[in-house]
Amino acid sequence: MLSRPKIIAVVAGFVSAVGFAPLDLWPVTLLAFALLLHLVRAAPNRRGALARGYWFGVGHFTLGLNWIAHAFTFQDKMPWWLGYGAVVLLAFYLAIFPAVAAGLAWRWGRKDGLTLALVGAAAWIVTEWLRAILFTGFAWNPLGVVLIKPGTAMLATVIGTYALSGIVVLLAGCLLLLADRRGARAGLFRDGPAISALALLTVLLGGPALVKAMASTPVKAAGPLIRVVQPNIGQEQKHDPAFDRVNFERLATLSAKPAPGPRLLLWPEAAVPDFLEQEAWARDRLARLLGPDDMLLTGGIALIGDDQDRVIGARNSLFAIGYDAGIAGRYDKAHLVPYGEYLPMRPILSLIGISRLVPGDLDFWPGPGPRSLKVPGFGKVGVQICYEIIFSGQVVDRRDRPDFLFNPSNDAWFGPWGPPQHLAQARLRAIEEGMPVVRSTPTGISAVIDADGRLLATVAPAKAGFIETRLPPVHAPTPFARYGNVLPLAFAVFLVCAAIARRRFAR
């Protein structure tokens, strides 16, 4: 049986996830995290604090990741209801990270509300970063993404997404201080210097970025012409050979005839089922959609063979196809989705009836990581296929900075919650890197995002359509683009130092 504080923690965690897309109720998230800090402060011991943080995490991730259950409805080999169990099991694992953050906050900050907020924010930054890198990483829904709607996400240009998550915890701590009558009577003026220092730091870090976000208007782009295609091909049709011709005709129709001048055509992840490197006829029919100066970027599959020409694996790839039907370049996805693109411990799990969510018995192999793809006539393109775009600080080759990021994706199997959450995280990458992001998906949400994270154009979910526009300009590298996740970790260290100073000042 769960104790009353643990039940409250589960409910608070569940409610905290409504700040993510598509609901975007970010004030509720702040209140829920303020309640978490209160529960942690009131815990009788470290074990109690860990438990309250853990059960908060279970609720938080169960609702926030509910879209994963929808993926199981497309897998005939496993029952659809197994998806809900998978969400809860994943939440049980991911809740370890909020538990650690809560335990650290209790250990060093339980006697003082402001110290609790400072240590809690620092711990959340570090544990969220660890969540993104341990065991291949699962960075979905960083807490800082809830600040996309109020517009304060421009802070990410300076301190990155994980530090933005720490800002959310700090704001929740401020709410707790305001709600604490004892703190209001006895501690408000005592906390003044520390609060003023935090406010000054926020202004110094984020002030210029926020002023720019509020004062600027979308720039009229002068880049090359791009056409982003969304064919509205559902997951139930995508892997059915009977629909191959119909699906290609949709893509071809939405791509339209070549226009005068160069045009970059952008198709979704795995848009074509053909093996483009082996099948010349497949490249030829793609080339017929292009003008002499056009290029097509399309998702596809690259086969991996052994010395005896046997197929032993595959790569989830993006191909650059030219008017001459040649392959001008290829990018291979590096961050693969466990159970989606490969089956861990395949010999064991296959015996008990567990299979990949994507049809097929051939596992995908990972590529080398971020690199810029040189597309003749269109400069350098950074490619992040689907899930890869969620990994803050891991999306750009910093030694060869691209002109924009292309994020071909397949969100068709993630229900109504997954696609808007994916889009919000892509917007954070644009802000962090100071770089436009273009998304093409089969069923939505396809989008063109400028280097300030603004949505310039979208195609609504479950609709066929296209976006034809000029590519937005890239900004000079932001501080985060230069130094990456060193900055949020440095911010966490600063918060710890502020907490130590606060404790000494309190004595």
40-54 mean pLDDT: 96
197/256 same-domain check: no
478 is a domain residue: no
Residue 28 pLDDT: 97
pLDDT for position 441: 96
Mean pLDDT of the chain: 87
User: 357 or 293: which carries more pLDDT confidence?
Assistant: 293
Whether 479 is in a domain gets the answer no
* Chain segment 242-276, per-residue pLDDT in tens: 888 999 999 999 998 887 889 999 999 989 999 99
In a domain, residue 480? The reply is: no
Check 238, 386, 388, 433 and give the catalytic one.
386
Classify residue 28: in a domain, yes or no: yes
Instruction: Round to whole Å and give the CA distance between 230 and 225.
Output: 17
Residues 128, 269, 341, 432: which is the catalytic one? Answer: 269
pLDDT confidence of residue 494: 95
Residue 315 lies inside a defined structural domain of this protein: yes
Q: Do 288 and 379 reside in the same domain of the chain? A: yes
Both 158 and 184 in one domain: the answer is yes
Q: What is the mean pLDDT of residues 51-68?
A: 96
Question: Mean pLDDT throughout 87-108?
Answer: 96
The whole-number pLDDT of residue 359 equals: 59
468 plus 489 within the same structural domain: no
* pLDDT band at 412; cut points 50, 70, 90: confident
Q: How confident is the model at residue 305 (pLDDT cuts 50, 70, 90)?
A: confident
Residue for token pair 């196809």: 321
Give the CA count within 13 Å in the CB-facing half-sphere of 448. 21
Tell me: do 208 and 355 sit in the same domain: no
Sheet holding 295-305, edge to edge: 327-332, 311-322, 295-305, 263-266, 225-230, 465-470
Q: Are strands 295-305 and 372-375 parallel, antiparallel or unpaired?
A: unpaired
Residue closest to 159 by CA, chosen among 117, 197, 204, 200: 204
pLDDT in tens, 346-357: 544 454 445 555
Question: How many structural domains comprise the chain?
Answer: 2
User: Considering the entire predicted model, what is its pTM?
Assistant: 0.90
Statement to judge: residues 335 and 356 lie in one domain: yes
Task: Please confirm, yes or no, whether 269 is among the known catalytic residues.
Answer: yes
The answer to whether residues 191 and 148 belong to one domain is yes
pLDDT at 101: 98
Instruction: State mean pLDDT over 186-199.
Output: 49
For this structure, is 236 an active site residue? no
Per-residue model confidence (pLDDT) at position 136: 85
Q: Is residue 480 a contact partner of residue 160, using CB atoms and an 8 Å limit? A: yes
**pLDDT at site 414:** 84
Give me the amino acid identity at 1.
M
Dist. CA 65–CA 434, nearest whole Å: 28
> For 261-318, where are the alpha helices, taking DSSP H only?
280-287
Question: Does the residue 250 lie in any domain?
Answer: yes
Q: Is 28 or 70 the better-scoring residue by pLDDT? A: 28
- Span 426-481, pLDDT tens digits: 999 999 999 999 999 999 899 999 999 999 999 999 999 999 999 999 999 999 99
| 331 within domain boundaries | yes
* pLDDT higher than threshold 70 for residue 411: yes
Q: How far apart are CA 388 and CA 390, in angstroms?
A: 5
> Is residue 477 one of the residues assigned to a domain?
no
Averaged pLDDT, 103-127: 94
pLDDT-derived band at 198 (thresholds 50, 70, 90) equals low
Per the model's pLDDT, the better-predicted residue between 58 and 198 turns out to be 58
Residues 383, 502 within the same domain? no
Are residues 233 and 210 part of one domain?
A: no
Residue 492 and residue 466 in one domain: no
Sign of CA dihedral 358, 363, 367, 373: negative
User: For 373, left (φ over 0), alpha (ψ -120 to 50), or beta?
Assistant: beta
Q: Which of 128, 174, 238, 333 is catalytic?
A: 333
Kindly state whether residues 212 and 233 are assigned to the same domain.
no
What pLDDT does 177 receive? 87
> What's the whole-number mean pLDDT along residues 109-132?
94
pLDDT value, residue 77: 60
Residues 338 and 253 in one domain: yes
Q: What is the pLDDT of residue 197?
A: 46
Active site residue 497: no
Which CATH number does the domain housing residue 310 bear? 3.60.110.10
Contacts 24+ apart (CB under 8 A), 492-496: 492/121, 492/122, 492/123, 492/125, 492/126, 492/163, 492/166, 493/122, 494/201, 495/118, 495/119, 495/121, 495/122, 495/125, 495/166, 495/170, 496/118, 496/119, 496/122
Range of the domain at 359: 225-472
